[in-house]
Amino acid sequence: EAGVTQFPSHSVIEKGQTVTLRCDPISGHDNLYWYRRVMGKEIKFLLHFVKESKQDESGMPNNRFLAERTGGTYSTLKVQPAELEDSGVYFCASSELTGGSRNIQYFGAGTRLSVL
């Protein structure tokens, strides 16, 4: 079974440009999470989807970030316009909504975003 996949693995853009990150969760996982790790610091929560609905977006830094999950399958995270401080590794995770494994979040390999 495929795990959580993220695309691209690495993106280098200039300040002011737009970038869209994609996450494909494990099939059947209704919970989808986005996290970010700025260099050398802890991984921080950005937001949480349950199916197509935003359950919690308290970690989103500002309105330059827009996350969507149309149809409740894959999710995108768009940064527009990108700033230097947006550089970091963006992780996506998914988990089951119910059942014994609902407390386990499975992570993708991350997208490394470099804003120059």
Partner 1 sequence: AQSVTQLGSHVSVSEGALVLLRCNYSSSVPPYLFWYVQYPNQGLQLLLKYTTGATLVKGINGFEAEFKKSETSFHLTKPSAHMSDAAEYFCAVRPSNDMRFGAGTRLTVKP
Least distance in angstroms from the C-beta of 67 to partner 1? 14
Contact window for partner 1 (CB under 8 A) among 14-22, 27-35, 62-70, 71-79: 27-35
Binder of partner 1 out of 1, 28, 41, 99 (CB under 8 A):
41
Q: What angle do CA 99, 105, 108 make, to 5 degrees?
A: 135
Residue 74: Cβ-neighbour burial (10 angstroms; 0-12, 13-18, 19+)? middle
- Name residue, tokens 């209704």: 30
Letters for 1-20 (x = contact with partner 1 by CB under 8 A, - = none) are: --xx-x--------------
Of residues 52-111, those binding partner 1 (CB under 8 A):
55-56, 59, 91, 93, 103-110
DSSP symbols for 2-66: ---EEE-SEEEE-TT--EEEEEE--TT--EEEEEEE-TTS-EEEEEEEETTEEEE-TT--STTEE
Q: Which is nearer to partner 1, 31 or 79 (CB)?
A: 31
Tell me which residues touch partner 1 (CB under 8 A): 3-4, 6, 31, 33, 35, 40-45, 48, 55-56, 59, 91, 93, 103-110
